Chain A
Amino acid sequence: MRTMTEEKHTISLLVDNQPGVLSRIAGMFSGRGYNIESLCVAATMDPLVSRITLVTTGDQLIIEQINKQLNKLVNVIKVHDLTETDFVERETALVKVRARPGHKAEILRLVDIFKCKVVDTNTTHYTIEVTGTVEKLSAFLNLLKPMGIKEIARTGSIALSRNNK
């Protein structure tokens, strides 16, 4: 019965902007043994409401439970599993990469191709800002890897449905 294939789901939540709400959500995931791959919280236009975008994985039944369990939390206003719909998803990363003399041109060429920005530089490193889909980010990071990535900071995915409702 149970389909064991793991799927990745991006879920968008509107929640009460109150202390403790994030820990309720995180606690639900850890207490029930579900995964959080990334989680991003910020205010919305309504100061009483925050939006959380989270990416999780699980088989079909687990994803169904995650959606229901999130809905059950008293502080969660709305749960939208975007994976079921048409949506746009972006992530931003800051990448500090070694800029050896022999690699500088190649790095800048990649920055150009991937439409990124060098936001900081010193004698030994470039810090690059890259935004895109998760696939674009991994492709970019894979290409930079041989040059020597010193540090990465990623925002985690944020996403919105393409519908107007």
Chain B
Amino acid sequence: MKITGAQILMAIFKEERVDTVFGMTGGAAIDIFDELARTNIQHIMVRHEQGAVHAADGYARAKRSVGVCIVTSGPGATNTVSGLASAYMDSIPVVVFTAQVPTNLIGNDAFQEVDIVGITRPCTKHNYLVRSIEDLARTVKEAFYVARSGRPGPVLVDIPKDIIQGKTAYKPLRAPSLKSYNPTYKPNMKQVKKAINLIREARKPVIFAGGGVILSGASRELAEFARRLNAPVTASLMGLGAFPGTDELWLGMPGMHGTYRANMSIGSCDLLIGIGVRFDDRVTGKIDTFAPHAKIIHIDIDPTSIRKNIPVAVPIVGDCKIALGELKKLMDEEALIIDPYKNKPWLDQIEEWKSTNPLSYEQMDIIKPQYVIERLYDMTNGQAIITTEVGQNQMWAAQYYHFDQPNSFITSGGLGCMGFGFPAAIGAQVASQDKLVVDIAGDGSIQMNIQEMATAVQYSLPVKIVILNNKYLGMVRQWQQLFYEKRYASTSIDEAPDFVKLAESYGAVGLRATRPQEVVPVLKEGLSTPKPVIMDFWVDREECVYPMVPAGAPMTEMLLV
């Protein structure tokens, strides 16, 4: 029996256990949505396609599966670009289906035609233009496989309308295997052995975890490894939650807005074990002063991450979970026992750094943004899924909410894409109905995808938005304060909507706190309201995020207050 392209798509969705797609229809995509409506797959209809991709990203992270989007050709397709770029930088498995003009019109500058495969080539892990209906099933199968395997990432599939409507016989395909794509999961044991030799000799080890630990589900292995080595752990922004943020061995995040002790520890360690990290410039600062006394072991599934930015003594290409498993096995075989007292002077030193310059602020008569996050942390018992926008709000969330679980912190790390947090929260809420999901937002960023409030209301998704409202593009203003003699060019955003009324106009709930004593009551009411809520906190306008390492400076040269 022959079925249509749209029906083939649905059949594969079922095989891939897709239960939700995020999307927006249009002339070229109409048949896909027509078919989708006949299945039991849930469609979350967004109000802007960028929102669809961020939502699929949030969904993929909260659910630990692949997020799916469907959009129309032309403008629908171009609107996905920021979402794809963000998912690409953060290695999140998302498959975006774009409808395309009919095959015979491609190349004619037809109505709503864009070369989306050309446009998204550098910001997807891979992409496809389907050229015939016979190729459709294999291509879609491959797209899911490529998105989730190896180092995950977004994949785009562009399907011309005649192929969506066309008919062919369909038989479920076996799992794809590609001779040109074969990720390495199992590490080379020679390298693992070398790593163990370095571990044995180390006196001042530091473990540096990244998003790769979360993606490979290696948190338990990481915790065991850290305890066995009695080594302190730091994690990149993308790695927050990979290791409990309340653990004794936890150093906090390193880098530009990292903790004093994390940066000092990296600055003086003799062994740095990077696991699923890519040594981004916001972490390394001035590259030749990064971890100057350390030998570096680097575990990552993507060979291009290794030796891209920093020299490495022992490169280990492989999946974090498998590599940590192999390290453990070999340590067991060699009966490697780390004397618990060996690292004591090192841990004492770290304790001292911890107490000399802890993260701090003073709550006076204006609301401090850090205070809002600390209260939010207390009142949610650290159990909420937190998404963020970009800027100061993102950094305060990272510093003051202590993440104990992987996938509980969802942020646009690599791209730093304003407008990410709210749609990502919607996606996370769809994935975990029973969890409290909170977007920690800035007054600037929230305006970039606020239209998704209609989506949240439509699908009764009770996401909470905490706006740290400083009436500034705060992070940029901070740079101007510190490095541009307080010339606040183009960063004041006084002309903003009344966020309380805005929430109400969408049929959501709006609350506001302008004084410190209102913070807890507003959080209490907002968090317990079973609807989408905006909580608008008017915070100290000129508060800065500290510590701060100026861009390109050594990481141990921090501005502390």
Contacts and interface: CB of A to CB of B under 8 A. Distances in A.
Interface string B113-155: 0000110011001100100000000000000001000000000
B180 A16 contact: yes
A74 B129 contact: no
B179 interface: yes
A77 B118 CA distance: 21
Chain B, interface size category, equals 10 to 19
Interface stretch (B299-307, B476-484, B514-522): B299-307
Contact of B122 (A16, A31, A71, A76): A31
A64 B315 CA distance: 13
Contacts of B125: 74
A27 B180 contact: no
Contacts of A64: 307
Nearest to B128: A20
B interface: dominant SS: mixed
Interface of A: 1, 15-16, 19-20, 23-24, 27, 31, 61, 64-65, 68-69, 71-72, 74-77
Given A15-B180, A61-B307, 8 more contacts: A1-B288, A16-B180, A20-B121, A24-B121, A31-B122, A72-B303, A74-B178, A77-B179
Given A76-B180, A77-B180, A23 B118 contact: yes
7 contacts: A15-B180, A19-B129, A27-B121, A72-B303, A74-B126, A74-B178, A76-B180
B181 interface: yes
A interface: dominant SS: helix
A24 B308 CA distance: 20
B340 interface: no
A138 B304 CA distance: 35
B304 A20 contact: no
Contact of A23 (B121, B146, B179, B308): B121
Nearest to B309: A61
A1 B146 contact: no
Given A69-B304, A72-B303, A74-B146, A20 B129 contact: yes
A100 B181 CA distance: 57
A13 B487 CA distance: 52
A76 B179 CA distance: 9
B311 interface: yes
Which 6 residue pairs are nearest across A and B when measured between Cβ atoms?
Answer: A77-B180, A74-B126, A68-B304, A68-B303, A74-B181, A1-B311
A61 B308 CA distance: 8
Interface string B165-194: 000000000000011110000000000000
Nearest to A60: B307
Contacts of A75: 180
A72 B122 contact: no
Contacts of B121: 20, 23-24, 27
